Structure 1
């Protein structure tokens, strides 16, 4: 077992590198290491690695002897920092189409920390940034062809299943990537599976992840994604991708009725994914998303001011995918979201087609429970379109989320029960402009935040909603078909006086 040391303040690239007194000065030599089980990389606290980067390929630990990357030295000093600033350019290639425009599937990416085909590797206590310092590339910041950037990227491609990836206590900030790209490595922390270089190997050695833990990180001012885990070229198998006569994937997909088989997602998707204790602030797009994961757990995370750049004055080069929410799944099986908080998701009134705290999106069996949301511009929760199936939302609190607390565009089902919805004065219980989906809404408490009786459009034309046993406070009218409602208290002044949104946020 060998630990390799690096210090921007006290190191020397001509030294041995295997003790604090013989530390290297830059990350250059670390990039060429062959790391064995139990080996580690230690960066001295207080170090600032400017315009530098750390890329590792094929580093494999074992369950009992993982490879580690972390900090050493005076604990009173700041954690070591890698400020990539556009260096560390590599070429990403999914080797397959990955969805409609503008989802690019290949191109150059700048990444500060890249783990390519690595397993049993743990990274802790490092600061990472990847700033855009000027327009020397000839593009404005929000041009469509700006290079993608990430703070941390983890890729599975040639090795098969990459196991036990731990990213913990990282501070990732100021990653100025492409405003528009959703599924290239583009944002704070991104975990992605590609097809291998040889397409004949795609099903013989499936590139995927098992045991991904993203824990207690802080991610600020990154673009486009905050934390994204599990996007994969193997969506072509999960989503029944079409092929041309010559056998080439043709970027068409058949989602069926939305359900995802246990066998399919376990074979091609990411398993044992845990995203816990992270704080994501001012993500340009979405804060935290799991994609193509089997039973992921997302808990005790905080999103604040997500979708900061999904707006009419920045997102101008295309209208495609001008949408972002805070914490949500895409095409996952039985995703569980619990004890999360989402505040102030932005721009639903400035061109962002979403803006919710939560979004059950084209998933099978999504559960939200025990979560808290406040002042999200597009509402509390969306059940997104025809392929969002078996969704359940219960024991959550929505405090003055704007526009419409519940958003049900064309979804086939949603069970919404035992929640508290405090309806803002400029909002509705339902986002009625597109409430044409299906839902059971039972045993919830709806509280109007107005001190005088408000008005609510409870049952928009075209929707298929069953209300039962809800409590209503401060409304002038009720859903006509909720014959089992517990009560309606028109004067809720005394109750509202106890609610201080500044204390809750």
Structure 2
């Protein structure tokens, strides 16, 4: 096992880089490395790599001996910082359509730390920025054509399944990317799968992720995303992409009844994904999202002030996808969200079509349990439209989220059980402006925080909501179903793993 050392103050690229005394000086010196399992690339504490980037390709350790990228030196010194400042440019190409405008599928990206077709690589204890220094590119910061930027991008492309990647204890901040692009490598941490360059290997060399862990990172002031995991060009297979007369995918998709086939998702999507213990503050759009994952586990994360750019006086070049929430899945199967906290998601009153803490979105079997939310501008939980199915929201606390705690636009089967909702004075238990879905609301406690009893619409026009066994405090009226029966306790028998719990309801 060999360690390589880099120091911006004491190093020299003419050195061999094998000891702290003979460290290299720049990150560029490391980009030709072909490390063996167990090797390490270590950056000196106190070093600042201004205008530099670290792009590593086709590097692989093994499960017992990962390749490590971290730091060394006096622990009283600050973490080494890669201050990319718009450098580290590469060309991203999904080689397939990935959704409607403004979702670009190819273009130039600036990335501070890029891992491309890497496996069993552990990255830890590094500070990363990628600032927009000025408007020398001729664009304002909120123009549609601003270059995408990333703190860390992990790309699967030509190497098949990327396994065993760990991103831990990173401090990523001030990544001033494009405020509109959702699915380019654009934000704090982006993990993405492209189609391989050799089109003949699309089915034999599937680019995907397995055994991915993103943990204990701090991500602040990044555009557009905070942490996004699992977006993939193979969505054209998973979501039954349409084809034109020439046989090319045509950017249309068939989500069926919303359910997701397990074998298909495990073949083309991400597996064994854990996103844990991260703090994301002031993300330009969404804070943490997992996409196209089978049974991802998202726990003990904190989001504060997400969606800072998703407002009608900033997000002005297009109105498409002017939506963002805090922590949520897209097209995942049996996603678990537990012990997370989401505070102050912004701008539902300024053009953000979402603004919730949580959003079960076009997934199958999404489960939120034991989470806490407070003062999110668009509410607590959204069950997003017809293709979010088998969703369960239970044993959570919503503390004065705005507008409406429960948001069910056109949803077919939301289950809301055993939660505590403290309703703000200017809010309602349901988000009334689009409560045209179906929900089973059972065994919850609703507490109105205002000074005088509140009247609300328990059955807005177009809604299909059933109430049973709930407790209502501070309300002048209650749903007819619950008014005729005494509330009964909600009981939950479950465990702390990713399997679906067994629910026991009594009336």
TM-score, normalized by length of structure 2? Answer: 0.95
CA contact (8 A) 1:85 1:131 kept: yes
Aligned match of 2:500: none
Quote how far apart the aligned CAs of 1:312 are: 1.2
Runs of 5+ unmatched residues, structure 1: 489-505
SS of the aligned residue for 2:303 comes to strand
Q: Deviations over 1:445-490 (max 9, x none)?
A: 00000121112111101111110010000001111232455469xx
CA contact (8 A) 2:468 2:487 kept: no
Residue pairs, 1:23-42, within 5 angstroms: 23-42=23-42
In 2, distance between residues paired with 1:63 and 1:380? 39
Residue pairs, 1:307-322, within 5 angstroms: 307-322=307-322
In 2, distance between residues paired with 1:133 and 1:146? 13
Aligned match of 1:473: 473
Aligned match of 1:71: 71
SS of the aligned residue for 1:102 comes to coil
Aligned match of 1:222: 222
Aligned match of 2:155: 155
Q: Does structure 1 residue 281 correspond to structure 2 residue 281?
A: yes
Aligned match of 2:495: none
CA contact (8 A) 1:470 1:484 kept: no
Cα RMSD after superposing both structures: 1.0
In 2, distance between residues paired with 1:75 and 1:378? 42
In 2, distance between residues paired with 1:216 and 1:308? 22
In 2, distance between residues paired with 1:233 and 1:357? 27
In 2, distance between residues paired with 1:484 and 1:399? 27
Aligned match of 1:496: none
Residue pairs, 1:182-197, within 5 angstroms: 182-197=182-197
Q: Deviations over 1:70-104 (max 9, x none)?
A: 01000001111000000000000000000111110
Residue pairs, 1:138-217, within 5 angstroms: 138-217=138-217
In 1, distance between residues paired with 2:472 and 2:271? 41
Aligned match of 1:400: 400
Quote how far apart the aligned CAs of 1:43 are: 0.3
Task: Name the count of aligned residue pairs.
Answer: 488
Aligned match of 1:493: none
Aligned match of 1:360: 360
In 2, distance between residues paired with 1:432 and 1:86? 44
Q: Deviations over 1:85-136 (max 9, x none)?
A: 0000000000000011111000000000000000000000000000001000
Q: Does structure 1 residue 306 correspond to structure 2 residue 306?
A: yes
In 1, distance between residues paired with 2:81 and 2:101? 35
In 1, distance between residues paired with 2:114 and 2:433? 43
In 2, distance between residues paired with 1:428 and 1:48? 50
CA contact (8 A) 1:160 1:208 kept: yes
In 1, distance between residues paired with 2:425 and 2:51? 49
Q: Deviations over 1:426-447 (max 9, x none)?
A: 1010001000001000000000
CA contact (8 A) 1:470 1:485 kept: no
Aligned match of 2:250: 250
CA contact (8 A) 2:109 2:147 kept: yes
Aligned match of 1:349: 349
Residue pairs, 1:367-382, within 5 angstroms: 367-382=367-382
CA contact (8 A) 1:468 1:482 kept: yes
SS of the aligned residue for 2:433 comes to helix
Quote how far apart the aligned CAs of 1:198 are: 1.7
Runs of 5+ unmatched residues, structure 2: 489-507
Aligned match of 2:494: none
SS of the aligned residue for 1:324 comes to coil
In 2, distance between residues paired with 1:237 and 1:56? 29
Aligned match of 2:504: none
- Change in Cα spacing, 1:484 to 1:50, as seen in structure 2 (3 Å) is farther
SS of the aligned residue for 1:68 comes to strand
CA contact (8 A) 1:469 1:484 kept: no
In 2, distance between residues paired with 1:308 and 1:99? 23
Quote how far apart the aligned CAs of 1:212 are: 0.5
Q: Does structure 1 residue 93 correspond to structure 2 residue 93?
A: yes
Aligned match of 1:491: none
In 1, distance between residues paired with 2:370 and 2:363? 19
Q: Deviations over 1:224-266 (max 9, x none)?
A: 0000000000000000001112211110100000000110111
Aligned match of 1:500: none
In 2, distance between residues paired with 1:93 and 1:354? 29
Q: Deviations over 1:378-424 (max 9, x none)?
A: 00000000100000000000000000000000011111000000000
Aligned match of 1:3: 3
In 2, distance between residues paired with 1:138 and 1:212? 38
